[in-house]
Amino acid sequence: MQIRKNDSVMVIAGKERGKTGKVLRVLKEKDAVIIERLNIVKRHTKPRPPQQTGGIVEKEAAIHASNIMIMCEKCNAPARIGHKILADGKKIRICRNCSEALD
C-alpha cells in the first residue's frame, strides 16, 4: 500500500467525498485506512467495570484505500503517487503532477 500513517489524504468516493484528513492507522490486511474525524460511526459498548462505562461511542471507521488519494502540499490537490530512486539507492514517493517528493 502506498499510503502511510500521518499522510494527508482526500476521500474521492463515498459519503465523505471531498473531505480531507490525516491518516491515523493503515490496515494492510483489509487494504483500508482510518482517517482522523472522517467516516464516524456509532458503536454500542458494554460497560467494563475497571475503566469505562457502557453506552454509545462515536469512532472512526475504515475507508478502503481505493477511495482515497494523497494530498500534495505543493500542488494543494489530490495526486497520484509515483516512485523515484535517488542516487543513494533510496526509493521515495513523488507527486505525478509536480514531481515533488512526498516523503
Mean pLDDT, rounded, of the chain: 95
DSSP sequence for 9-59: EEE-SSTTTT-EEEEEEEETTTTEEEETT-SEEEEEE--BTTTB--EEEEE
Q: For residue range 64-76, what is the model confidence (pLDDT) as tens digits?
A: 999 999 999 999 9
Whether pTM exceeds 0.85 = yes
Architecture (CATH level 2) of domain 8-78: Roll (2.30)
Q: For residue range 21-31, what is the model confidence (pLDDT) as tens digits?
A: 999 999 999 99
Which pLDDT belongs to residue 1? Answer: 87
Single-letter amino acid code for the residue at 12: I
Single-letter amino acid code for the residue at 32: A
Query: What is d(CA 80, CA 86) in angstroms, rounded to the nearest whole number?
Result: 19
Q: pLDDT digit of tens for each residue in the chain (103 aa)?
A: 899 999 999 999 999 999 999 999 999 999 999 999 999 999 999 998 888 888 999 999 999 999 999 999 999 999 999 999 999 999 999 999 999 999 8
Q: List b or e across 19-32, with b for residues whose CB sees 16 or more CB atoms inside 10 angstroms.
A: ebbebeebeeeeeb
Query: What is d(CA 35, CA 45) in angstroms, rounded to the nearest whole number?
Result: 22
